Amino acid sequence: MADWQALGYEDGAQGRGLDYMGKRRESCAKYAIQLNASAYRGGRDEGLELFCTELRGFSEGRAGENYNGACPADLEGLFLRGYETGRDLFTAQSAVQELEAAIHDRELEREHLLDDMTEIGALLVADEATREERVTLLADITRLKLRHSELGHEIEDLRFELGQRHMEYQDLVARSPYPR
C-alpha cells in the first residue's frame, strides 16, 4: 500500500505542481491502486514548506530551473524574491559563458583559416599549378585573409562585450544577499 502522505511530501519538497498528483494517479491506476488525494495534498503542503523558502528560490533560480507556481500564496513572495535574484545571476552568468564560447569558436575558425592559407600557399608555389589555378588560389587566399581579419574584429568586439557582461555579473554577485 502506498504512503500517499509521504509521496505528497516528497513531491512538495521537490516543488512539483499539483498536476503531478495526476501522474501519480495514472501510474497507480495501472496496478489498481487508488490515490488518497487528501493524504497526498496534506503531505505535499508540508513538503512545500520545505521547498518554498527564499533560499531555495535563490538556489532554483541560480540553477536556471523554471518555477511552475507550486508555492502557496503565503510562501510565494519570499520564494520569488530569492528566485528572481538567483535567476538574474543565472542569466548574467549564461551571457558570459555564451560570449566566451563565441570567442572560442571564432578563434578556432581563425586557426583553421591560417591552416587553409598555408595549404593554398603550398599549392600556389607548386610547379604543377597552372596560371589559371594560381589566379584562383590567390583569390582564395585574399578571401581567407579578409575573413581572418573580420574574425579578428569580431573577437575584439566580443571581448569588449565580455568585459561588460563579466562586470555586470560580478556586480550582481557582490550585491547578492545569498551565499555563493
> Which residue's entry shows cell 562586470?
167
Q: What's the pLDDT at 42?
A: 95
Confidence of residue 161 (pLDDT cuts 50, 70, 90): very high
When computed from its CA atoms, the radius of gyration of the chain, rounded to whole angstroms, is 29
Q: What's the pLDDT at 143?
A: 98
Round to whole Å and give the CA distance between 156 and 104: 12
Conformational region of residue 33, where left means phi above 0, alpha means psi within -120 to 50, and beta covers everything else: beta
The whole-number average pLDDT for the span 63-69 is 96
Residues written for the chain: 180
**Cα distance between the two ends of the chain:** 42
Percentage of the chain exceeding pLDDT 70: 99
The candidate with the shortest Cα–Cα distance to 17, out of 51, 68, 58, 59, is: 68
Angle at 42 between CA 39 and CA 46, to 5 degrees: 140
Q: Is 40 helix (H, G, I), strand (E, B) or coil?
A: helix
DSSP secondary structure, 85-110, as one string? HHHHHHHHHHHHHHHHHHHHHHHHHH
Q: What's the pLDDT at 3?
A: 87
What is the overall mean pLDDT for the chain?
94
Whole-prediction pTM: 0.83
- The C-alpha cell that represents 127 in the structure block: 610547379
More confident residue, 29 or 125: 125
- The C-alpha cell that represents 33 in the structure block: 491502486
Q: What's the pLDDT at 35?
A: 83
pLDDT tens-digit map of 69-91 = 999 999 999 999 999 999 999 99
Model confidence at 1: pLDDT above 60: no
Q: What's the pLDDT at 28?
A: 80
What's phi and psi for 69, nearest 5 deg? 75, 25
Round to whole Å and give the CA distance between 109 and 46: 54
Model confidence at 158: pLDDT above 80: yes
More confident residue, 159 or 37: 159
Q: What's the pLDDT at 79?
A: 98
Answer for the pair 168, 161: CB distance below 8 angstroms, yes or no: no
* 37-51 vs 73-125: helix crossing angle, rounded to 10: 70
Q: What's the pLDDT at 64?
A: 97
More confident residue, 136 or 26: 136
Percentage of the chain exceeding pLDDT 90: 83
